[in-house]
Amino acid sequence: MLKKISFILEEIQYYINCSMVKYLLGYIILFSITLNSQTELKFNLASAPFLVPNIGIEVQISDRFGYQLDTSASFYDDIEGSPFHMTQIFNEIRFYPKNKKNKRNFFIGAHVGYGMYNLRLPKWITTVVDTEYKEEGSYQYGRNAYYGLTIGKKIPLKNEKFNLEIFVGGGSSQSNYKYYNKDEQRIFAITNYKRKFNKSGEELPYRGGLMLTYKL
C-alpha cells in the first residue's frame, strides 16, 4: 500500500511539472471559451461492455474544426487476482473536410494523450515472445504518452440530436514503467536512469470504438 501511495505521489509531482499539463490547461480554457458553440457529449458503446467507460465532449471551433476531450478508466483494480487498472485522457483537434452536402461527417484528428496503468503482462506474450518478464505474478506500474492521428466518420440517426461515430486512432506510444514481482519487489530496475524508470516506445493503434453522441 505504501508503495502505491508513493508511486501516485511521484506521478502527481511529475504530472504537475510536465509541459503536457500546461497544454491541457490551455485546451480546457479554450473549451470554456467556446462552450456556447455546438457541443456534443459522447459515450463509447464498444468499451462499455468491458467495464472501461470512455466518455468525451467535442466543441465546434469553426465550420471545419472541432476540439475533443475524452477520458477512459477501468472500474476494477484486478482480474482474477492479477493487477489491471488503467486511466487515459486525450486531447484532439479535428478537421472535417467539405463534402457535397456540406455536413460534418468524415474527420481526421491530431491528438496527444496521457495514461497511467497497473497491469500484469498478458499470458499470451509470455508464452509466445521470448521475454525476461515471464515471472509468474509480475506486473507493471507505469505511464504512457501518446502522439498520433485519429480517423473516423459520423453516422446520422433519425433523431437529429443523436449520432453514431466510428473511429480508430494510433501513433507513437511512449512508456515509462516499473516492474514488480508477485511479492511487490522491484525487478529489472535501471539504476543509471535519472527517474529510475524503464522505458519503451512503439508505433501502434491504441484507441477506437463506436461513440453514441448527443448534441446539446
Q: Parallel, antiparallel, or unpaired: how do β-strands 162-180 and 106-120 relate? A: unpaired
pLDDT at 171 over 90: yes
More confidently predicted of 73 and 199: 73
pLDDT at 82 over 90: no
Q: Look up the domain containing 186 and give its range.
A: 2-215
More confidently predicted of 197 and 22: 197
Confidence of residue 44 (pLDDT cuts 50, 70, 90): very high
Complete DSSP assignment for 51-105: T--EEEEEEE-SSSEEEEEEEEE-S-SEETTEEEEEEEEEEEEEE----TT----
The grid cell for 72 is: 477512459
Q: Answer yes or no: are the C-beta atoms of 197 and 191 closer than 8 Å.
A: no
Query: How many domains are there within the chain?
Result: 1
Residue that is written with C-alpha cell 464498444 in the block = 46
Q: Parallel, antiparallel, or unpaired: how do β-strands 186-187 and 139-156 relate? A: unpaired
Q: What is the pLDDT of residue 15?
A: 47
Confidence of residue 35 (pLDDT cuts 50, 70, 90): low
Q: Answer yes or no: are the C-beta atoms of 179 and 198 closer than 8 Å.
A: yes
Q: Determine phi and psi for 30, rounding to 5 degrees.
A: -60, -40
Q: Determine phi and psi for 157, rounding to 5 degrees.
A: -110, 170
What letter does residue 197 receive in the DSSP assignment? -
Confidence of residue 81 (pLDDT cuts 50, 70, 90): low
The grid cell for 75 is: 472500474
Q: What is the pLDDT of residue 114?
A: 93
d(CA 117, CA 84): 8
More confidently predicted of 27 and 65: 65
Q: Answer yes or no: are the C-beta atoms of 69 and 27 closer than 8 Å.
A: yes
Q: What is the pLDDT of residue 212?
A: 96
Q: What is the pLDDT of residue 17?
A: 46
In the chain, % of residues over pLDDT 70: 67
Task: Give the model confidence (pLDDT) of 83-133 as tens digits.
Answer: 778 899 999 999 999 776 667 789 999 999 999 888 776 565 555 444 555
pLDDT at 13 over 60: no
Task: Give the model confidence (pLDDT) of 132-154 as tens digits.
Answer: 555 666 778 888 999 999 999 99
The backbone region for 51, taken as left when phi is positive above 0, alpha when psi lies in -120 to 50, beta otherwise, is: left
d(CA 156, CA 133): 47
d(CA 62, CA 179): 45
pLDDT at 25 over 60: no
